[in-house]
Structure 1
Amino acid sequence: MLLVALLGPAIGLTALAASLPKDTGVTESASTLSARALARQIHEEGAQATVRTLDGQKAWPRLRRAVAAGWDGWIELVPDLITHADDDTASRLRTALRQALPRNPRGVLAVIDPGNGALLGAGAICTPHGMSTRWRRDSIRAVSAMHDIHIAHPAADCMAALSAGAPIETADNGT
């Protein structure tokens, strides 16, 4: 009797699991998205095929969140992907890079186009237009703290873009 009491629930759960419909859809755990896997896919299949895969899996929001969080491996993927993405996706990737700037200035500055192109130039990534005053202040602080010869030019371009359109402060002359 004790054996039936112990095995009964397990047999019932097994029968219940067997009766459930088979789900052939991709699950969260089955579609693990990692920067390393995407980098490998870009290398093996090309960026255009990877963009189609991201479109098909509707994985762009996860990628953008990782970029906006300032995660290095993800930021490094943006230059390859953005050139093959549609305009809306490219715009959202730029916004994610802008959000990452105060969190990981070194990572963002490393992917800035030295030719100041429309997709990844400092004028597109570092512009304060549409961003909060706090973002601008934090970005200026983060970029100005970078002292790396390898990102000196992108940092200077970024500082110029961050400073563009800044309110002119005048000294209080006491009158």
Structure 2
Amino acid sequence: MADNLHLNELSEKLDYSGKSLCGGEYDSCTFRDCNYENADLSENEFRDCLFERCNLSAALLKNTGLKSVNFRNCKIMGVDFTYCKDFLFEVNFEDCILDYSIFLRNELENTGFKECSVKEAEFAECGLTGAIFYNCDLSGTLFSRCSLEKADFRTAVNYSLDPEINRLKGAKFSYPEVTGLLEKYGIIID
């Protein structure tokens, strides 16, 4: 087990695309310019880690722990976060591409989505209280039965939220994007 424990390590320009990299523990590690596209990252534990300029598109994260993990300038397309470990799950995204990703029953309270593309993604039954969608493009993204109380959408664009199936008390919006809350009614606003 000691061989799988990594503390304060820097991993740069590694290519694990399509490979299996399971069962490791990474504490306070930085991953920079690495390729994990279609990689199996299941059964890993990442604590206080930073992924910077990495490609994690279609990576498998089954039973993976993401505890205080930051993603910066990463491509994370089509990743299903549903099967990540719930315990202490905490992630933040800055300048990332999260298109086609899935979040099902994830606790994302106070999560930052900053300068991200989150197109055609799905958030279902998620706790997004206090989440910040700063300068995010949410085109085609589905929010279903989510707690979005006190979430900040003021600088987000292209979102469509159904206030009848999502909790929005105290959420922040700006005009004209707030009209996305009325989209399902097919009304015309001039």
Could you state the TM-score of these two structures normalised by the residue count of structure 2? 0.38
**Higher RCO, Cα 8 Å, sep 6+:** 1
Task: State the structure with more CA Rg.
Answer: 1
Which has a greater percent of helix? Answer: 1
Which has a greater percent of strand? Answer: 2
